[in-house]
């Protein structure tokens, strides 16, 4: 069992149930811990086994009460308070709030007024037009609910890259610790860093495959064994994702890795290239006649068919075998993160705590960009509060300088693009910021012409530097805005405005094809985590993966630049 993941799910659900039961002050604590556990790089069971209850309390956000619940789950795989909450509020909250536009408060109203307990009830009520007449809903909301249910059904069976990463890293760690395993790697769409993952493919080199397979099918998070063999076994985890494990020989590991990484379209092209050279390429190696000439490493395989090694993220038959591949951006190129939220707008951490973590990550700079006043649900800051925040950041920067710490805290904001394209903060205050991020957070269903005009108007504002999550999609929840993206790119280029690649696994916006378009047009991009909790600063890896899938180079991403060059990009 993946205890971190299971506890994160339980605490996240408890937060929702508590909020529905009007105990929001308690729900925030559970929600924070859930976020921390999702990003924790240590197994909570190992932490507990080594140090007991006190060691659990050392985890960020964990007090004695939550630590006791964690201990209870580690011992019994149950949390009595969670089961009590579910009985008290018999609503499948996680299921309902997965639909775009649905939150805990709306779910509460629907339960109280219409006894809606699950998505099936919700769809039935919406189709019978019982929801539109309720206060705070209306026909538009009812229509959006039905569209959200269709979207949810369409996305079922696939996992977000972030979710799959948690599961995959746990499996790889367990296999790496087996003395019988000589080499292990993940393949498939996960290795290509696709936005959503259908299943996980793992390859292992071992001289004792039987012991590896016994261990694999017996892992504590296995819900079902689909099949067990001497070289291949398949399981379904408790999270619901299927995992295939293959044991291959050391001499064929590279060719197996290349073959099972895919994509299918990429493999068709590489096999055709091999055939044109009188060779045969398959999962066992590269052959000339009956003689194997390569297969131990991927580099050997590609070299044997006349190609340089191709990064997995771009193996999609998008020209990677015929074009000269640039040196695409890497996580180590990132010099700082400019999309971070502090406790000023409801985030979990103070600016000084965020700065300390940025120093630990080796960043040159960190940018605080809290929400602004229109977004009341996120405790958005008004002009006075932004100027007060500016003073605090100036004070903190002086302290860092005195301590000779090489980090600069930059002051930005994530302002709101209103329906007419204006910004919800005055130009006089925006001018005083180090940089300004602007994003659409309301009126998401505008028609293409109006939405395009709205965003372009914001782009033309001389104080706007960055457009956040430019197409507004939330994976498995809502599609992009209706917008003419080519026109957005043209305006961004003309006005030297930067487009964000949002690292949240729920967004990954821009998508890879739009990154390629931006790169081609010479529009600069920035990778931001949109972090509201400290562990979310580590989401940068997903934004970098997305940039790589879009063939972005270091020069295309402005936060790969040192501070002095970075500041030149801002107006």
Report how far residue 527's alpha carbon sits from residue 541's, in angstroms, rounded to the nearest whole number.
10
Burial of 101 (0-12, 13-18, 19+ CB in 10 A): middle
Structure tokens at 98: 């997965």
Question: Mean pLDDT throughout 533-538?
Answer: 90
pLDDT in tens, 386-430: 999 999 999 999 999 888 888 999 999 999 999 999 999 999 999
> What angle do the packed helices 161-176 and 540-549 form, to 10 degrees?
100
Mean pLDDT of the chain: 92
| Rounded distance between C-alpha atoms, residue 398 and residue 409, angstroms | 10
Written as one string, the DSSP assignment of 330-342 is -GGG--EEEEE--
**DSSP single-letter state for residue 222:** E
- Backbone φ and ψ of 570, nearest 5°: -90, 140
Q: Which residues contact 207 (CB under 8 A, 6 or more apart)?
A: 180, 182
Nearest in space to 231 (alpha carbons), one of 1, 252, 220, 295: 252
Q: What is the mean pLDDT of residues 434-451?
A: 94
Token pair listed for 223: 């819900």
Q: How far is residue 518's CA from residue 512's CA, in Å, rounded to a whole number?
A: 10
Least confident of 17-21, 304-308, 461-465: 17-21
The overall longest dimension of the chain from CA atoms, in Å, is 76
Confidence of residue 349 (pLDDT cuts 50, 70, 90): confident
- Residue pair 153/128 in contact (Cβ under 8 Å)? The answer is no
How far, rounded to the nearest angstrom, does the alpha carbon of residue 563 sit from its chain's CA centroid? 26
pLDDT of amino acid 85: 85
Mean pLDDT of 243-258: 97
How far, in whole angstroms, is CA 286 from its chain's centroid?
Answer: 36
Which residue in 397, 435, 443, 396 sits closest to 415, CA to CA? 435
Rounded mean pLDDT of 435-463? Answer: 95
Which segment of 46-50, 99-103, 218-222, 450-454 scores lowest on mean pLDDT? 99-103
Residue 458: which pLDDT band, with cuts at 50, 70 and 90? very high
Residues of 548-558 as b/e, b for ≥16 C-beta within 10 angstroms?
Answer: bbbbbeeebbb
Contact 338, 370 (CB under 8 A): no
Q: Residue 550: is its pLDDT beyond 90? A: yes
Where residue 319 falls (left for φ over 0; alpha for ψ -120 to 50; beta otherwise) is left
Give residue-wise pLDDT tens across range 119-152: 899 999 999 999 988 888 888 888 888 888 887 7
pLDDT-based confidence at residue 38 (cuts at 50, 70, 90): confident
Residue 65 φ/ψ region, left for φ over 0, alpha for ψ in the -120 to 50 degree band, beta for the rest: alpha
490, containing H or E segment: helix 485-494
Q: What is the pLDDT of residue 72?
A: 92
Please report, for residues 149, 380, 438, 561, 567, the alpha-carbon distance to residue 369 in angstroms, rounded to integers and kept in the order given. Answer: 33, 11, 10, 19, 15
Neighbouring residues of 334: CB distance < 8 A, sequence distance ≥ 6: 363, 527, 540, 544, 557, 559, 560
Query: Residue 25: what pLDDT?
Result: 62
Work out the number of other CB atoms within 10 angstroms of the CB of residue 565.
11
> What is d(CA 283, CA 292) in angstroms, rounded to the nearest whole number?
12
513-523 tens-digit pLDDT: 999 999 999 99
Residue 149 burial class via C-beta count within 10 angstroms: exposed 0-12, middle 13-18, buried 19 and up = buried
Q: For residues 162 and 542, is the Cβ–Cβ distance under 8 A?
A: yes
pLDDT of residue 24: 59
Give me the domains of the chain, ranges plus CATH numbers. 3-155 (1.10.150.110), 160-314 (3.30.460.10), 331-569 (3.20.20.140)
Per the DSSP assignment, residues forming a β-bridge with 193 are none
Q: Using an 8 Å Cβ cutoff, are 218 and 193 in contact?
A: no
Q: Residue 23: is its pLDDT beyond 60?
A: no
Give the chain's count of helices (H) and strands (E): 23, 17
Instruction: Supply the pLDDT for residue 376.
Output: 67
Give per-residue pLDDT as tens, 167-215: 999 999 999 999 999 999 999 999 999 999 999 999 999 999 999 999 9
What band does 154 get if pLDDT is binned at 50, 70 and 90? low
Instruction: Tell me if 379 sits within 8 A of 413, measured CB to CB.
Output: no
C-alpha dist (Å) from residue 552 to 52, 317, 492, 514, 560: 46, 16, 17, 11, 11
Q: Are 234 and 227 in contact (CB under 8 A)?
A: yes
pTM, to two decimals: 0.82
- b or e along 262-299 (b: 16 or more beta carbons within 10 Å of the residue's beta carbon)? bbeebbebbbebbeeeebbbbbbbbbeeeebebbbebe
For position 22, what pLDDT does the model report?
63
pLDDT in tens, 332-347: 999 999 999 999 987 7
The rounded distance, in Å, linking the Cα atoms of 420 and 408 is: 35
């Amino acid at each position: 069992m993946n205890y971190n993941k299971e506890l994160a799910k339980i605490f996240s659900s408890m937060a929702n149930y508590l909020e529905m039961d009007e105990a929001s002050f308690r729900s925030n604590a559970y929600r924070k811990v859930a976020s921390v556990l999702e990003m924790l790089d240590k197994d909570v069971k190992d932490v507990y086994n080594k140090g007991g209850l006190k060691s659990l309390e050392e985890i960020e956000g964990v007090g004695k009460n939550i630590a006791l619940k964690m201990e209870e789950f580690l011992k019994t795989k149950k949390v009595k308070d969670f089961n009590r909450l579910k009985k008290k509020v018999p609503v499948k909250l996680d299921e309902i709030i997965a639909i775009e536009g649905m939150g805990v408060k709306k779910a509460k109203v629907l339960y109280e007024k219409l006894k809606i307990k699950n998505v099936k009830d919700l769809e039935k009520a919406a189709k019978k037009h019982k929801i539109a007449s309720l206060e705070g809903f209306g026909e538009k909301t009812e229509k959006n609910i039905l569209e959200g249910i269709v979207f949810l059904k369409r996305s079922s069976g696939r996992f977000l890259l972030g979710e799959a990463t948690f599961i995959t890293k746990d499996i790889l760690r367990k296999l790496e610790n087996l003395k019988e395993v000589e080499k292990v790697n993940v393949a498939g769409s996960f290795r290509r860093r696709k936005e959503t993952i259908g299943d996980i493919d793992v390859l292992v080199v071992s001289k004792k495959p039987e012991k590896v397979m016994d261990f694999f099918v017996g892992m504590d998070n296995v819900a079902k064994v689909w099949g067990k063999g001497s070289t291949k076994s398949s399981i379904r985890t408790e999270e619901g994702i299927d995992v295939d494990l293959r044991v291959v020989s050391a001499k064929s590991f590279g060719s197996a890795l290349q073959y099972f990484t895919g994509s299918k379209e990429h493999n068709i092209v590489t096999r055709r290239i091999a055939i044109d050279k009188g060779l045969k390429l398959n999962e066992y190696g590269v052959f000339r006649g009956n003689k194997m000439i390569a297969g131990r490493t991927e580099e050997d395989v590609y070299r044997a068919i006349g190609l340089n090694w191709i990064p997995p993220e771009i193996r999609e038959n998008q020209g990677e075998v015929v074009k000269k591949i640039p040196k695409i951006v890497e996580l180590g190129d990132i010099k700082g993160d400019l999309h971070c939220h502090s406790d000023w707008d409801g985030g979990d951490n103070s600016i000084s705590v965020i700065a300390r973590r940025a120093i630990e990550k080796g960043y040159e700079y960190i940018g605080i960009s809290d929400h602004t006043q229109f977004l009341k649900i996120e405790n958005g800051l008004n002009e006075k509060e932004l100027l007060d925040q500016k003073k605090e950041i100036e004070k903190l920067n002086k302290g860092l300088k005195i301590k000779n710490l090489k980090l600069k805290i930059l002051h930005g904001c994530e302002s709101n693009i209103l329906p007419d394209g204006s910004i919800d903060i005055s130009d006089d205050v925006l001018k005083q910021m180090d940089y300004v991020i602007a994003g659409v957070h309301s009126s998401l269903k505008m028609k293409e012409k109006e939405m395009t005009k709205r965003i372009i108007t914001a782009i033309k504002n001389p104080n706007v530097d960055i457009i956040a999550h430019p197409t507004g999609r939330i994976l498995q929840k809502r599609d992009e805005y209706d917008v003419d993206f080519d026109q957005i790119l043209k305006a961004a280029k003309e006005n030297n405005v930067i487009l964000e690649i949002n690292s949240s696994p729920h967004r990954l916006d821009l998508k890879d094809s739009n990154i390629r378009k931006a790169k081609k047009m010479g529009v600069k991009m920035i990778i931001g985590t949109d972090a509201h909790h400290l562990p979310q600063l580590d989401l940068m890896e997903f934004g970098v993966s997305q940039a790589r899938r879009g063939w972005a180079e270091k020069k295309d991403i402005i936060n790969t630049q040192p501070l002095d060059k970075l500041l030149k990009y801002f107006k």
